Structure 1
Amino acid sequence: MHHATPLISTIVGGIVLAFILGAIASRLRLPPLIGYLCAGIVVGPHTPGYTADQALAPELAELGVILLMFGVGLHFSIKDLMAVKRIAIPGAVVQIGIATLMGMLVAWGFGWSWGQGLVYGLALSVASTVVLLKALQERDLVESPQGRIAVGWLIVEDLAMVLALVLLPAMAGLLAASGVTSGETSGEAAPATGDVVLAIFATLGKVAAFVAVMLVIGRRFIPWMLERIVWTGNREMFRLGVLATALGVAYGAYALFGVSFALGAFFAGMVLAESEFSHRAAEESLPLRDAFAVLFFVSVGMLFDPMVLVNDPWGVLATVFIIVVGKSLAALGIVRAFGHSGQTGMTIAVSLAQIGEFSFILASLGVYLKILPERGQALILAGALLSIMLNPVLFHLLDLYTARRNRSADPQPA
């Protein structure tokens, strides 16, 4: 019997190709994330051969976003942030501001509006959690002073992007209207400032209501529920309970409070992170989170047209320059201004010289809200691919510099 299997073929094609290309990337000492994105390019509409279902892929990607954000919330640590708050909080905020301004200047050179430049710059300002933690773990730097600063810095960046994802839909009318130049016409009038302010306050009010419910009810109910499941001794039910918490809270946040799936999943992870079962929950949910995260990156790769590297080389170079050079120099200068060593500054600068999952989410939301042009999303994807590929090279150069510096510092034998 013949069956229509677009869902099965999309999942199977994405997972199998992601495995093959991810393994090749690992063999080449590159992050597997590169392989996942390339798998999406292969099954996307911009390359010949098999093309995955273009309607199903975004929905699978949304599940990937939910579980990615749930994982971010599970690993969110106020303790880690407070330990380095004196540098991580102001440093990350200033670095995000500098990178965003650089993005807006480049966007102005492209002829884009300030609203388009804002989304473009924000997407270039935040580093990938996956890439940063992997690089630090490979060098046993996670527990080092520079590693703690980098992780705290990343936490602040993640929080800033969560806030951006919340506010962007409320500001969409104003930002999209800014994209209408004098030579263009629009069927819709630009929203009044008062309407935008009301929309922002309404959004923040809904978020505040959701956060209050999570802190008052969710903070008690979720750990209580998981504790009862643990008492049964049924590992399968515990795993299912963790998954139901992530998906249920994310959907409830959207359906009842009108906030994004991403924010709901993030707070579900944060609430669960405070319970004594957080480590077990993270361990049990990891395989499924990884699988859907792979599908998310595959779906992102499907959006990327490789011809942008040929058709828009200067745009790609400008994007990569902001990510790898501009953002890194800003981070280095900030760390040095706070009195830390050059070694610490360079480690943090190299750690942040890439972009990843939050950039993809922000770019996709910007295109969906008709704020960011598709060219902007293509440049962000190209910048992500190239910066992630360059990051191991930068770390290798840093390792060589550190080894040479240590040798020169050693006392010479008499």
Structure 2
Amino acid sequence: MKIAMIGTGYVGLVSGVCFSDFGHDVVCVDKDATKIDKLHRGEVPIYEPGLDTLMARNVEAGRLTFTLDLAEAIDGADAVFIAVGTPTRRGDGHADLRFVMAAAEEIARTAKDYIVIVTKSTVPVGTNRQVKEVVAKANPDLDFDVASNPEFLREGAAIEDFMKPDRVVVGVETDRAAGVMADIYRPLYLREFPIITTDLESAEMIKYAANAFLATKITFINEIAALCERTGADVKQVSKGMGMDNRIGNRFLHAGPGYGGSCFPKDTKALARIGQDNAVPMHITESVITVNEEVKRRMIDKVRDLCGGSFNGKTIAVLGVTFKPNTDDMRDAPSLTLVPALVGGGASVKATDPQGKHEGEALLPSVTWCADAYEAATDADVIVMLTEWNEFRALNLKRIASLMASARMADLRNMYEASDVGDAGFQSYVAVGRPGFGPGSH
């Protein structure tokens, strides 16, 4: 089959590459000439482990191409996927659908034969019906169907998630559209991965409900962590005990500095807004949003306590600025809350991140960037573990302590044991929901 993919951002590029690896002919189209030029040169504009190799293989096989020309992309295509951004709209919390609707109009003006228009972007309930109206108005003679096919890709594990999904959700209105989508996902059907076919509205809601629930799990365990700190309990043991219950599961029960990234922040806000618009307030989701912001601020207080109550004049090393490991994505990362607070309080901040420097230089302009954790730790008063990259999990703590002006650690990802940190020569240690030691640890 021939597939056109509008948008070469995270979702569009990963999906396009993986569809081509299924054996389909895929044309990825984007308005950003710089991005398309990079792709033509074989350069991947995002960091996703394994994507460069998979892309090169399918380009070489002739199944994957890139273009600025939408007409070229959808000429003869069986389906066109819309995978453009839907950021939170300023002021009201709605998902901004301008790019989705613009893509729909352009498809309508360009398409000549029957085509299935598939929304891959995360969109509020009712959006696909709006897409249908936009297309029909722009080109009343076009023979088309719409489909909803939300993505469930974890950054850092996106290829695995696409090739071996927990489920694929397809929302359609007609058997004809269902047949096209079944052919597109035939490799997964043959391997018996779950394919759920629903109506349009249910497919749209599944995406928001799933992300809101996962954000709720993260926020719940972060609230429990705060209570553990006051009561002397260890949140790691609490999480382990909870996660052994099959009804709960152990994923997304790791206490830390709050959720961030491209999905959870905007999707929880969008779901809350959908509830308000339909007179069904999403009280739990609204609380999750509020508590997550409180969690980030609580991390600032932890670091301030280690600094003796003030950041002024302190040098603080921050290990990790991306919202999670194995990505270069800094959207709504905890670092964007913590680091400005440190700098605003008078601290000098040194940071290191395996993939975050490129975005970080623009988003965190007052930071001094270091090659590794040891350079960042040199002459620092406090070291903050902020993103759980593997290379930060097994540091030579004795060396780190010896390099610091005063050996104090804020382990905001619970990567280390207090006893090991103490044995390495640190004076103070704080974690999230776990006992610490020394001044500032309470």
TM-score category, normalised to shorter length:
under 0.3
State TM-score, norm by structure 2.
0.23
Query: What's the TM-score, normalizing by structure 1?
Result: 0.25
- Of Structure 1 and Structure 2, which has the larger fraction of its residues in strand? 2
Greater radius of gyration (CA): 2
Q: Name the structure, 1 or 2, with higher relative contact order (CA <8 Å, separation 6+).
A: 1
More helix by share: 1
